[in-house]
Chain A
Amino acid sequence: MRTAKYCWALALAQVLSMVGIQPAANAYMQEPHICNAQTIQWKFSTDGGWTDAKKGWVRAAINTLDNELDYDGTGLVSITESTSSTATLVRILNQPMAEYGGSDCFATPQAWVNSNFSAAKFYYHVGRHEMFHLLGGSHSGLEDSRNGDNPATMATCIDWGNFSATNLLKQDDAAYLTWLHSSIADRQLHANIGFERGFTYWGQTNGTATVLGTGGATGPGNVSFLASGTELNSYIYQTVRLWTGGDNASYRSRINVKSPSSTYTTKAMARLYRQTLAESGDNECSYANGLSNPNDATTVGGYVILSETSVATIGTTWTALTGSWVNPANTDGLQLQIRAYGRSTNSSGINTPILFDNVRGEGQ
């Protein structure tokens, strides 16, 4: 009975704590999970199910979260293995095969994985998924916004056989981590916005992008983009998939841009497009914001202009181009495509590279 009383106390403590930390109502995508740590010290438990291989897989999965960078090159989160007695325990439990893992940020913070699997991909996915819960991640849909690239880390209700054998963050995972923990005000919608991890997650149209390791607007990374067309049809882009559910949010485009020379004519523009996503059915799994099965997703529509800037003439100092906030009608989800357009021309009219940094959509 003492245990029962202890549980009552815990429940009361949780209710009280939750009253004080309800997330903002206007956040887009998934509301932050009730856990929302940015810094975690963790250690493996002494549970009997651990092997060196399983520890290695889980450790590698957790490290992918720790590797992701904010716009200025600083870490988005700090997750370090520790021997501290207060470190979050990463446990391994002997459970039936239907039980994959779990996490808990109350009482005794911990994450756990099932000991009864032998495949690395199980421990990659579940280990990262449970640690992502502690970082604030709620469940997402199956598919990453990059076609065929799934499942995203926070996808749930996925048979373990479909987990990725490659231990990498998906694009939307990185975007979600940025949304949760970037130090920029407002919610940052895209991944690797400062090019601090190279050109990862980005695409280009009508031009050639080269990542530079020095001279960014913030942090060292930035992109030199040589347009082959004009400032209206040459751009870099990134699309992220956001499950908005019942959220009611506004979005805008925002980029940093710079001319390489005062003798060049440099023009640039930022645009944010939206594409509607719809879920269907109910897979009986747990999602935030009234969603019931984002694993069964359809892209409904075309890409519609949501927020854009004018075509601006750019000088040799970093300049921020910012579109206006726009609040689209509620949908199950959105794919948001940010595009940074630009061209620089020399006195002979020959295209020369323009510089981009911190390219992203924002939400509030």
Chain B
Amino acid sequence: MSSHELGRVRCSPPRLTGTLLTVFLTACGGYQVALSPEETPTDAPISTINDVFSPCAYPDADRAPAFEYMESAAGWQQLMDVSDADEDQTSPSMVPSRIGVLGEDGIEYIDITGHSSFWPGVNWVLANGGSAWAAIADPAVYEIQNLVLYVVAVMKDGRTFFPGECQALALYSPLESRFGEDVDSVVRAMPGSSPDELSTLLGEASTDTTASTDIVVLNPETASATLLDSLQFSLVDATISTPLGDLVICSKSSAGWNDCFPADGRAADIGYVVDAYLGDDGVLEFWLMNGDADLAHPLGLLGSIVGSDSAGRSQDIALLVAIDTAGIQPGEPVMSGRVTLLESIPIEKIDDRVEHWEALEESGMLELVSPGDE
């Protein structure tokens, strides 16, 4: 049972009321602490400061990706006076406020939209000799001018926190997990940084979802119909001489990688029939792979055959292939020249090899259920 699951128990949401913050610490972890900002000592552990100024009624909420969110700050304002914004904490919400920020000629008052739960922590840190900055959203994205995404607070002793509802959980915790003891120096460097600078600073891990771009897999899910239609289709009926445990054999043509089959006992006893698309040269290579069929790291070339030439492409073909796998040892180089083309026949003829399928059924490896379903 994970702490995550335990955290799903809901209790009455803590709310900021006036100047008093009543905080239920891990309500479901079992104890209650009531602190006001005035009572919170500046040398309190950061966990206590987070509990006071970043309570969280919904700890298991679905959130923005922390690093991407923090890096999206399009601008910054150093906060000087948020006393007006902090007046009403009866029901924290995203509301317009007028606040004082550091301008070229001192404090300037501007209109912003920010969550009112940000301000008690800002007032506290400013009152205790610290500083605070508001990260401003790109108005083109959020369609709101001066929208505060989050607030960075730096205490007089250099420690940092993110005031506001659930901000410690949403932002500080991921930073702490990534940077450990360096978290404060990283957070202190954030104000004033551009999105690119923030991206460098926070070292965002790539979230690009990509397949290996230089590897072509000749499967209808990943290769275009135009490409597949341009290639000669063949079936490979392959047997091996000796099972190789969890390893896999894949065929490859000049156009890309074809389907793969396990180099298991069935491959030795009966064989597999798999698809193979041939390129212009008609050459088909057979590669030994690990159990994941990791195409970027083949274990060795078993051999190759010429399945057809350009003059023989008038019809789809079936290639009967024998692969000598005897003597292949884990971790040792694989010698090539192990593949023999036994016969090339029109594809229409391959299912005349009924003994192949009968052997499969007799092997007990396949079931045929008839009639009906469910």
Query: Which residues does chain B contribute within 8 Å of A203, judged by CB atoms?
Result: 220-221
Query: Which residues does chain A contribute within 8 Å of B207, judged by CB atoms?
Result: 142, 157, 283, 293, 295-296
Query: Which residues does chain A contribute within 8 Å of B311, judged by CB atoms?
Result: none
Task: Pick the contact of B63: A93, A100, A229, A320 (CB < 8 A).
Answer: A100
B147 at the interface (CB under 8 A from A): yes
* CB-based contact B166/A95 at 8 Å: yes
Query: Which residues does chain A contribute within 8 Å of B146, judged by CB atoms?
Result: none
* CB-based contact A230/B9 at 8 Å: no
Give the docked Cα–Cα distance between A11 and B117 (Å): 27
A93, A96, A337: which has the most chain B beta carbons within 10 Å? A96
* CB-based contact B10/A302 at 8 Å: no
B189 at the interface (CB under 8 A from A): no
How many B residues touch A, CB cutoff 8 Å? 106
A129 at the interface (CB under 8 A from B): yes
Give the docked Cα–Cα distance between A358 and B374 (Å): 9
Please give the distance in Å from B99's CB to the nearest CB on chain A.
Answer: 16
* CB-based contact B117/A96 at 8 Å: yes
A71 at the interface (CB under 8 A from B): yes
Give the docked Cα–Cα distance between A323 and B361 (Å): 10
A190 at the interface (CB under 8 A from B): no
* CB-based contact B69/A98 at 8 Å: yes
* CB-based contact B260/A101 at 8 Å: no
Query: Which residues does chain A contribute within 8 Å of B181, judged by CB atoms?
Result: none
Give the docked Cα–Cα distance between A14 and B63 (Å): 24
* CB-based contact B64/A302 at 8 Å: no
- The residues in A between 137 and 164 inclusive whose CB is less than 8 angstroms from any CB of B are 141-143, 145, 147, 150, 156-161
* CB-based contact B220/A298 at 8 Å: no
* CB-based contact A156/B62 at 8 Å: yes
Query: Which residues does chain A contribute within 8 Å of B295, judged by CB atoms?
Result: 300-302
B269 at the interface (CB under 8 A from A): no
Q: Which residue of B lies closest to A319 (CB)?
A: B370
Query: Which residues does chain B contribute within 8 Å of A263, judged by CB atoms?
Result: none
Query: Which residues does chain B contribute within 8 Å of A283, judged by CB atoms?
Result: 65, 205, 207
* CB-based contact A286/B4 at 8 Å: yes
* CB-based contact B62/A100 at 8 Å: yes
* CB-based contact B62/A104 at 8 Å: no
* CB-based contact A303/B361 at 8 Å: no
Give the docked Cα–Cα distance between A7 and B25 (Å): 11
Residues 57-90 of chain B, each 1 if its beta carbon lies under 8 Å from chain A, else 0: 0101111111011001000000000000000000
Stretch at the interface among A60-68, A172-180, A304-312: A304-312
Query: Which residues does chain B contribute within 8 Å of A36, judged by CB atoms?
Result: none
* CB-based contact B115/A95 at 8 Å: yes
* CB-based contact A108/B10 at 8 Å: yes
Give the docked Cα–Cα distance between A304 and B289 (Å): 11
CB contact under 8 A between A322 and B369, given known A102-B61, A108-B10: yes
The count of A-to-B residue pairs whose CB atoms sit within 8 angstroms is: 300
Q: Which residue of B lies closest to A237 (CB)?
A: B220
CB contact under 8 A between A302 and B259, given known A296-B209, A324-B366: yes
* CB-based contact B205/A296 at 8 Å: yes
Residues 221-246 of chain B, each 1 if its beta carbon lies under 8 Å from chain A, else 0: 11000001000010100000000001
Give the docked Cα–Cα distance between A159 and B141 (Å): 11
Give the docked Cα–Cα distance between A357 and B372 (Å): 11
B258 at the interface (CB under 8 A from A): yes
CB contact under 8 A between A7 and B11, given known A95-B166, A126-B62, A311-B357: yes
Query: Which residues does chain B contribute within 8 Å of A157, judged by CB atoms?
Result: 63-66, 207
Give the docked Cα–Cα distance between A283 and B203 (Å): 12
Query: Which residues does chain A contribute within 8 Å of B347, judged by CB atoms?
Result: 229-230, 232-233
Task: Pick the contact of A99: B165, B212, B261 (CB < 8 A).
Answer: B165
CB contact under 8 A between A217 and B372, given known A10-B10, A303-B259, A304-B260: yes
- The residues in B between 322 and 374 inclusive whose CB is less than 8 angstroms from any CB of A are 347-348, 350-351, 357-358, 360-361, 364-374
Stretch at the interface among B100-108, B120-128, B170-178, B300-308: B170-178
Q: Which residue of B lies closest to A357 (CB)?
A: B373
Query: Which residues does chain A contribute within 8 Å of B368, judged by CB atoms?
Result: 309-310, 312, 321-322
How many A residues touch B, CB cutoff 8 Å? 104
A167 at the interface (CB under 8 A from B): no
* CB-based contact B373/A232 at 8 Å: no
Query: Which residues does chain B contribute within 8 Å of A281, judged by CB atoms?
Result: 205-206
Residues 1-25 of chain B, each 1 if its beta carbon lies under 8 Å from chain A, else 0: 1001110111110000000000010
* CB-based contact B259/A102 at 8 Å: no
Give the docked Cα–Cα distance between A7 and B102 (Å): 44
Query: Which residues does chain B contribute within 8 Å of A308, judged by CB atoms?
Result: 366
Please give the distance in Å from A161's CB to the nearest CB on chain B.
Answer: 6
Query: Which residues does chain B contribute within 8 Å of A233, judged by CB atoms?
Result: 233, 235, 275, 316, 347
Give the docked Cα–Cα distance between A4 and B9 (Å): 12
Task: Pick the contact of A98: B9, B64, B220, B366 (CB < 8 A).
Answer: B64
Give the docked Cα–Cα distance between A274 and B360 (Å): 20
Give the docked Cα–Cα distance between A8 and B11 (Å): 9
Beyond A98-B63, A237-B220, A302-B289, 20 extra complex contacts between A and B, CB < 8 Å: A3-B12, A4-B30, A6-B11, A96-B118, A96-B150, A97-B115, A97-B142, A97-B147, A97-B149, A98-B166, A145-B221, A157-B63, A157-B64, A205-B228, A230-B351, A237-B221, A302-B257, A303-B219, A304-B293, A323-B366
29 contacts between A and B (CB under 8 A): A3-B12, A4-B11, A4-B32, A18-B1, A93-B58, A96-B165, A99-B165, A99-B166, A99-B170, A102-B58, A102-B60, A102-B62, A157-B66, A159-B68, A159-B72, A161-B141, A206-B233, A233-B316, A282-B177, A282-B205, A284-B174, A285-B65, A295-B207, A295-B209, A296-B209, A298-B210, A305-B260, A310-B360, A321-B369
Interfacial residues, chain B to chain A (CB-CB below 8 A): 1, 4-6, 8-12, 24, 27-28, 30-32, 58, 60-66, 68-69, 72, 91-94, 115, 117-118, 137, 141-143, 147, 149-150, 164-167, 170-171, 173-174, 177-178, 205-212, 217, 219-222, 228, 233, 235, 246, 248, 250, 257-262, 272-275, 289, 291-296, 316, 347-348, 350-351, 357-358, 360-361, 364-374
Interfacial residues, chain A to chain B (CB-CB below 8 A): 1, 3-4, 6-8, 10-11, 14-15, 18, 34, 71-72, 93-102, 104, 106-108, 112, 115-116, 118, 126, 129-130, 141-143, 145, 147, 150, 156-161, 184, 203, 205-206, 217-218, 229-233, 237, 239, 256, 267, 273, 275-276, 281-286, 293, 295-305, 308-312, 315, 317-324, 328-329, 331, 335, 337, 357-358
